[in-house]
Structure formats: C-alpha cells, structure tokens
Amino acid sequence: MFEIRRARKADIEDALTLALEVFMEFEAPDYAKEGVESFRKDVIENVDFIENCRNGVCPIYVALDQGKLIGLIGMRKSRTHINLLFTKKEYHHQGVATALFQYLLTEELKNNPNLTEITLNSSPYGKGFYLHIGFTPLSDELTSNGIRYIPMKYVIQ
C-alpha cells in the first residue's frame, strides 16, 4: 500500500526528477525535440515554478511506497489547473494516479469549497486515463511549442 501526502520542500527536487524520468519514457517519444525541450524549460528547469512548489504556491502531492517516491500530482498557482501527474512505470495500473487525483481534489476543496472544475492539458498518452476518471475533452489535440495536448475539464459534483 502507498501513502499520499502534500510534498515537503525537500521532496520537490525528487518529484521533478521523477516527472522528467516518466515524461522521457512515456511522453517524449511522441513529441518533437522542441516539445521535450519546452517541458524541461517550462517545468523541470523553471526556477520560479520550482520556488512556487517549495513555498506551496503551486501545490504538489506525492505518493510514496515505504518512503520511496512513486508518483506526484501538481497544480499551477491558480489551483484550478493540474500541470503534472506522473507515476513510476512499475506502479502503473495500481491506482496510484487515481488516488493522487482524489487526494488533490479533497485537499483543494478544503481550501476552496466553491471550486467547480479542474482543468488540465492531457498528453496523448494520458488521455485514456483522464477519460476514465471523469475528465472530458474541450477540443481536439493541439500543439504549442512542440507540446502535444488535449485540453480537458473535470466538473466537480
């Protein structure tokens, strides 16, 4: 069984390393070089974003198996848009990503009881998962700076 909690300052670097590792294995093969570099620059190497994660402005939640980081979910500072959701390969299809999303939803509703929806830009790889947990596409696939994505929305009941 795994534990889910809010990331601590010390978790952020490891969480982003895991995000890059999983991105490179499952997402990057479908992206142009420009998209891979955009992901690195905008997320992994973005000093402002990293600082906002450390300070809790951009919340990140982590999943751990016996203390070992196995997944993460994160939001932009608007706290209405998910910008990271990654699970280590050996933990795929074990409920980690679903549990991370449910935990995030519960925590964000505590902070903002009037929250009515959460958005994200799904990669082609992740689209099936997001459909499965209740997200709906807002458009067909788009590309921006080499990043392929499908804008999606989850309506909170």
Token representation of residue 104: 């995030």
Is it the case that residue 150 has pLDDT exceeding 90? yes
| In the chain, where the domains are located | 3-112
pLDDT digit string, tens, across residues 42-94: 888 999 999 999 998 999 999 999 999 999 999 999 899 999 999 999 999 99
Please classify residue 96 by burial: count the beta carbons closer than 10 Å to its beta carbon, then call 0-12 exposed, 13-18 middle and 19+ buried. Answer: buried
pLDDT digit string, tens, across residues 80-134: 999 999 999 999 999 999 999 999 999 999 989 999 999 999 999 999 999 999 9
d(CA 4, CA 105): 13
Token representation of residue 151: 């804008």
Helices 47-54 and 12-22 cross at an angle (nearest 10°) of 130
Q: Please check whether residue 148 is in contact with residue 123, taking contact to mean a CB–CB distance below 8 angstroms.
A: yes
Q: Please give the CATH superfamily to which domain 3-112 belongs.
A: Gcn5-related N-acetyltransferase (GNAT) (3.40.630.30)
Is it the case that residue 30 has pLDDT exceeding 90? no
Q: What is the pLDDT of residue 153?
A: 98
Q: Is the pTM of this model over 0.85?
A: yes
